[in-house]
Structure formats: structure tokens, C-alpha cells
Amino acid sequence: MGKFKKLRELAKAKEEKMEVDSGEEEGTATDEETSEDEWMTVEEKAEEKKRALLWTNRERVLVLCSRGADVRTRHLMNDIKVLLPHAKGDSKLDRQKSLVVINEIAEMKNCTKVLYFESRKHKDVYLWMSNVDNGPSVKFLVHNMHTMMEMKLSGNCLKASRPILSFDSRFDEEPHLTLIKHALMQVFAYSSINK
């Protein structure tokens, strides 16, 4: 939390500087302004600019499932939450509620994307991937679920790592595949500076 404390102190210093500037006439330099400029070194100014860039792309993904989901689906959902550093989980959603409620839950959790695992009759599992704002929703049928424990990936070598997304050239030719490509990129792609 030390980094955030520094940012708060810098913000307070800027506010004080703005108050001093607004109280005086333009074109007159004061001792406080020069001392404050000396106080901020070149490294601190560079760090401040870097911090401003770091917070520009904070996308969050809400991951949740429906009630009645089997164990494998819940384990897959938990594995996705572990692998995606920008994922937030939520409790199970009742089947009686409509899918519009998911957007409200995502807005309360400050999430912009949603991964929703819908189980039907304990057999079929569907994955809804959507953009909360105005974006498209894509529905996938999930086959062959394998959890990390089944594949003997018990370590955390992939935890919070960035996935590599590669697409065939066909994804650029057909419009519906281009839409799916962009939806997958928005959900799974994670910037290297947002750690």
C-alpha cells in the first residue's frame, strides 16, 4: 500500500499547488512553486506519468455459474478464476432469474465482461461470454472439460500469467468469427502493465 500512499501525497501536493495558483495573479512566481518543483525529482515525475498510464486499462471479468452445476463445471470455473488475474467471482445464480440480472451484478462488482456457465439437466454446459456495456453476447457449448488437477497442473506456474491468443486467418474473413475473435480477445487478453 506504500505506492498508493505516495500517489495520495502527490495528489494532495497538486491540489495545494492549484489553490496557491488560483489565489495569486498570473505571471508571478512564488517561493512555494519553486520549492515544490525542486521537491519533485525527475524520477518521481516519470513514476507519476507511469502510474497514470498503468490505470488506463482496468477491465474486470465476472465469472459465475448457475445453480445445479456439477463439480467439474465448478472446478473449471475456479481454474479460470485462478488463471485470469483480472477475474472476480460471484455466487451461483438462480435459474428463475433472467440473464439481464447478470449485467446488474457485473455493474455492482465493477466488471465490464462476464463469463457465465449455464448447466442444463446436469448434462449440457453452456458458456455465455458477454460485454456488459453494449457489446455482443456469445454462447458456447462446452465439451470435454478437464480441470488443472486432472491434467497434473498442480503448481502455479501459469497463475496470473498472460494467455497467448492465436487465431486462424478464417477468423478475419467471416464476420461472425471476427466478432467471436474480438470477444475472446477482450475477455482473455490482459495487459502486461496491469499486474
pLDDT, tens digit, for every residue of 11-26? 777 777 666 665 554 4
Rounded-to-integer distance, Cα 85 and Cα 36, Å: 38
Per-residue confidence (pLDDT) for residue 67, from 0 to 100? 85
The answer, yes or no, to whether residue 140 has pLDDT greater than 90, is yes
> What's this model's pTM, rounded to 2 decimal places?
0.65
Q: Whole-angstrom distance between the N-terminal and C-terminal Cα of the chain? A: 14
pLDDT at 70: 83
Tell me the pLDDT tens digit for each residue of 92-135. 777 667 778 888 888 888 889 999 998 887 788 999 999 988 87
Instruction: To the nearest 10°, report the CA torsion of 7, 62, 145, 76.
Output: 60
Identify the pLDDT of residue 120. 84
Cell numbers of 130, please? 458477454
The pLDDT value given to residue 177: 93
Q: Give yes or no for residue 153 having a pLDDT over 70.
A: no
Whether 168 shows a pLDDT value over 60: the answer reads yes
Share of the chain above pLDDT 70, in %: 70
Domains within the chain, CATH numbers bracketed: 61-188 (3.40.50)
Q: Are 131 and 187 in contact (CB under 8 A)?
A: no
**Per-residue pLDDT band at 38 (split at 50, 70, 90):** low
pLDDT confidence band for 4 (50 / 70 / 90): low
Chain position carrying cell 494467455: 163
Average pLDDT, the chain: 77
Whether 3 shows a pLDDT value over 70: the answer reads no
Q: What is the pLDDT of residue 66?
A: 87
Q: Which residue has the higher pLDDT, 161 or 32?
A: 161
User: Mean pLDDT, to the nearest integer, of 36-42?
Assistant: 64
Task: State mean pLDDT over 27-36.
Answer: 50
